[in-house]
């Protein structure tokens, strides 16, 4: 069990790192688009991208989690043949659904563009729909690998997909600018990168799959001799795949769903408040500067959390929640609290230098700061949804997201006419918080989380205070020191050191006050026995070291 837990943590770190790097590349892709083409083209691109990514996420995020859970059940039972058969049926089903989605988007492009209030977006919608011809098969292969706890192949595929997409986008952007294409044509050309990226992701899965070793552990070989392979009829197996996949897929589209609501409501609401169509699309581009950073946090948390689902599925021995699953769930949620809260505080404090460094000016900084504060709810929602799915509750995350989406739409209608894009940012923060709160309540009802205590929040609060003081003080000092430099250079030299210093102060204070103990950091691959661990041990108070050392290995860590 120890080796499986270590494998889980390595897989979580690998997928989380790949997701983080992938989103970093995606964020960098948006910088030249906004800088060179302007906020109007950036807004048009973002509106269509939200529609495209909703469909892409259904195939590339929700479906792999569903397939991984079903494959994990087969592998746990020693049914290797059944796992491979499930992959074949899942690939056929997802390819058919992708083809249907492509046909719908291609045929309805003009109608959807009109509903957005941007008829010029029709060609971009058609260009983005081409990716659906390839992405579903890639999704099935990624889910199969995750179900076998082979995280390297999906991580490589994610990076290959993003690199190919960005490369295509940069080439298309350069060509469009050189030939003075219109905003609509420029947006359509760069959206062709979605199809290029999907093809590269599939190629990476197929190539790395040929090189990888087959799953051949002695334990599974002995189990396979005692258990007959799965012989479910094809129709029964397809129904089971659909029954499991649909709620998980619906639960994975939080960021694209919220973006889709903004794309169909925000430009129209801004126009109703008096903006012209061009000014509304420009403001929408400014708003999406902060959305890119928020999605970075959400997707990094979701990428790491995806590795929890197969392990939690294997660990479940009955209808209830056992001690091992409870410990894993509590630890995952605790890390989500820390990661999300630190990101929220840091992004809110450093919104202005980050905005100027990435997008050349400070327009939309207030909305970016509010969206940064929404990072806590976004991270908690992503992790708690994955934990609920791993514990067998596939319905609750989708229902909670549906309620949050309704809240987002209603709050947009109430706040945007009066407060503009800052009102839309407040609506996003409230909606993410609502979804996270409902997920955490569901976990407590399942018995997967202990009841929070007021005293448990004291130590993480001190760490957040240290982060805020360090980041804020460093920002003021560095802003004064770089005052004579070009605005963008000064912002970059302010933002990067402040982020690093704030993260260091946060981790050091967590260890110093005892919130982060040896049992937690030794679960992080590569940290046990390293110089970093010796530094953390020196910071750890003696009383807390004794408390951590005397704790049961499987006991859940205290909640923040």
3-state helix/strand/coil string of 430-449: HHHHHHHHHHHHHHHHHCCC
pLDDT of residue 213 exceeding 60, the answer is no
306 pLDDT tier (thresholds 50, 70, 90): low
pLDDT of residue 119 exceeding 80, the answer is yes
Where b means 16+ CB within 10 Å and e means fewer, 279-308 reads: ebbbbbbbbbbbbbbbbbbbbbbbbbbbbb
With beta carbons less than 8 A apart as the criterion, state whether 223 and 77 touch: yes
Q: How many other CB atoms are found less than 10 A from the CB of residue 144?
A: 26
With beta carbons less than 8 A apart as the criterion, state whether 171 and 94 touch: no
pLDDT of residue 49 exceeding 70, the answer is yes
Q: How would DSSP label each residue in 343-406?
A: HHHHHHHTHHHHHHHHHSS-TTHHHHHHHHHTHHHHHHHHHHHHHHHHTT--SHHHHHHHHHHH
pLDDT of residue 305 exceeding 80, the answer is no
Radius of gyration of the chain (CA): 23
With beta carbons less than 8 A apart as the criterion, state whether 33 and 41 touch: yes
540 DSSP assignment? S
With beta carbons less than 8 A apart as the criterion, state whether 188 and 232 touch: no
The helix-helix angle for 396-419 and 254-272 (nearest 10°) equals 20
| Residue 58 to residue 67: CA distance in whole angstroms | 13
Percentage of the residues of the chain whose pLDDT score is greater than 90: 21
With beta carbons less than 8 A apart as the criterion, state whether 420 and 283 touch: yes
pLDDT of residue 309 exceeding 80, the answer is no
What pLDDT score was predicted for residue 231? Answer: 62
Locate tokens 């070009």: which residue? 486
With beta carbons less than 8 A apart as the criterion, state whether 30 and 193 touch: no
Q: How many other CB atoms are found less than 10 A from the CB of residue 362?
A: 15
pLDDT digits (tens, 9 = 90+) for 126-174: 999 999 888 888 888 887 877 777 777 888 888 888 889 889 988 998 8
| Residue 395 to residue 341: CA distance in whole angstroms | 27
What pLDDT score was predicted for residue 29? Answer: 79
What pLDDT score was predicted for residue 10? Answer: 62
What pLDDT score was predicted for residue 553? Answer: 39
Four-point Cα dihedral 133, 156, 8, 213, nearest 10? 90
With beta carbons less than 8 A apart as the criterion, state whether 251 and 389 touch: yes
Q: Which of 307, 351, 313, 354 is nearest to 332 (CA)?
A: 307
| Residue 384 to residue 189: CA distance in whole angstroms | 37
Q: Which of 225, 198, 382 is nearest to 306 (CA)?
A: 382
Locate tokens 């004064």: which residue? 480
| Residue 58 to residue 341: CA distance in whole angstroms | 27
More confident call, 377 vs 300 = 377
Distance spanning both ends of the chain, measured CA to CA: 26
More confident call, 16 vs 47 = 47
| Residue 534 to residue 522: CA distance in whole angstroms | 11
226 pLDDT tier (thresholds 50, 70, 90): very low
507 pLDDT tier (thresholds 50, 70, 90): confident
What pLDDT score was predicted for residue 321? Answer: 60
Q: What is the mean pLDDT of the chain?
A: 78
Mean pLDDT score, 387-403: 82
| Residue 277 to residue 275: CA distance in whole angstroms | 7
pLDDT of residue 477 exceeding 90, the answer is yes
Task: Give, for 331, the enclosing helix (H) or strand (E).
Answer: helix 323-349
Mean pLDDT score, 52-65: 68
Most confident of 28-42, 59-73, 292-306: 28-42
What pLDDT score was predicted for residue 552? Answer: 40
What pLDDT score was predicted for residue 237? Answer: 72
| Residue 45 to residue 193: CA distance in whole angstroms | 12
Show the tokens assigned to 317. Answer: 């021995």
| Residue 350 to residue 268: CA distance in whole angstroms | 30
pLDDT of residue 383 exceeding 70, the answer is yes
Poorest-pLDDT segment among 139-148, 197-206, 273-282? 139-148
pTM: 0.74
Q: How many other CB atoms are found less than 10 A from the CB of residue 88?
A: 13
pLDDT digits (tens, 9 = 90+) for 431-447: 999 999 999 998 888 87
| 3-class SS of residue 315 | helix
| Residue 283 to residue 43: CA distance in whole angstroms | 8
pLDDT digits (tens, 9 = 90+) for 97-115: 788 888 988 999 999 988 8
Burial class from Cβ neighbours inside 10 Å (0-12, 13-18, 19+) for residue 28 reads: middle
């Amino acid at each position: 069990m120890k080796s499986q837990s270590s494998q889980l943590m390595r897989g979580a770190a690998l997928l989380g790192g790949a997701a983080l790097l992938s989103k970093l590349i995606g964020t960098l892709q948006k910088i030249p688009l906004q800088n060179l083409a302007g906020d109007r083209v950036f807004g048009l691109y973002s509106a269509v991208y939200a529609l495209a990514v909703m469909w892409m996420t259904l195939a590339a995020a929700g479906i792999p989690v569903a397939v991984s859970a079903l494959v994990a059940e087969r592998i746990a039972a020693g049914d290797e043949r059944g796992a491979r058969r499930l992959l074949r049926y899942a690939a056929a089903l997802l390819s058919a659904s992708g083809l249907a989605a492509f046909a719908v988007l291609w045929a309805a492009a003009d109608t959807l563009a009109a509903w957005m209030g941007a008829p010029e977006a029709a060609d971009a919608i058609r260009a983005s729909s081409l990716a659906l011809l390839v992405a579903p098969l890639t999704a099935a292969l990624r889910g199969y690998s995750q179900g076998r706890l082979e995280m390297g192949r999906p991580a490589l595929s994610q990076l290959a997909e993003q690199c190919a997409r960005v490369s295509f986008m940069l080439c298309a952007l350069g060509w469009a600018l050189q030939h003075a294409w219109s905003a609509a044509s420029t947006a359509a050309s760069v959206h062709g990168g979605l199809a290029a990226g999907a093809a590269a992701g599939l190629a990476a899965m197929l190539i790395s799959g040929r090189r990888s070793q087959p799953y051949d552990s002695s334990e599974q070989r002995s189990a396979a001799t005692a258990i007959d392979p799965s012989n479910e009829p094809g129709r029964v197996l397809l129904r089971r795949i659909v029954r499991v996949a649909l709620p998980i897929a619906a639960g994975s589209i939080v960021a694209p769903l919220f973006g889709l609501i903004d794309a169909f409501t925000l430009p129209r609401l801004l126009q109703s408040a008096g903006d012209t169509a061009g000014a509304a699309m420009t403001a929408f581009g400014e708003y999406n500067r902060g959305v890119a950073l928020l999605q970075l946090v959400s997707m990094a948390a979701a990428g790491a959390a995806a590795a929890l689902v197969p392990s939690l599925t294997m660990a479940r021995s009955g209808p209830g929640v056992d001690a091992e699953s409870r410990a894993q769930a509590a630890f995952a949620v605790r890390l989500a609290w820390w990661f999300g809260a630190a990101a929220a505080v840091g992004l809110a404090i450093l919104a202005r230098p980050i905005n100027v460094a990435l997008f050349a000016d400070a327009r939309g900084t207030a909305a970016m700061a509010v969206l940064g504060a929404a990072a806590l709810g976004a991270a908690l929602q992503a992790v708690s949804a994955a934990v609920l799915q791993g514990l067998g509750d596939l319905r609750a995350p989708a229902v909670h997201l549906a309620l949050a989406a309704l809240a987002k739409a209603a709050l947009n209608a109430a706040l945007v006419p009066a407060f503009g894009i800052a009102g839309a940012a407040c609506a996003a923060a409230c909606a993410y918080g609502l979804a996270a709160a409902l997920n955490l309540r569901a976990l407590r009802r399942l018995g997967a989380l202990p009841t929070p205590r007021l005293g448990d929040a004291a130590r993480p609060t001190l760490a957040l205070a240290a982060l805020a003081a360090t980041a804020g003080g460093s920002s003021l000092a560095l802003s004064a020191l770089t005052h004579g430099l070009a605005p963008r250079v000064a912002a970059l030299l302010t933002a990067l050191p402040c982020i690093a210093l704030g993260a260091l102060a946060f981790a050091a204070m967590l260890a110093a006050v005892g919130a982060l103990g040896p049992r937690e950091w030794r679960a992080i691959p590569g940290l046990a026995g390293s110089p970093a661990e010796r530094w953390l041990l020196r910071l750890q108070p003696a009383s807390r070291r004794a408390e951590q050392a005397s704790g049961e290995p499987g006991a859940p860590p205290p909640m923040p």
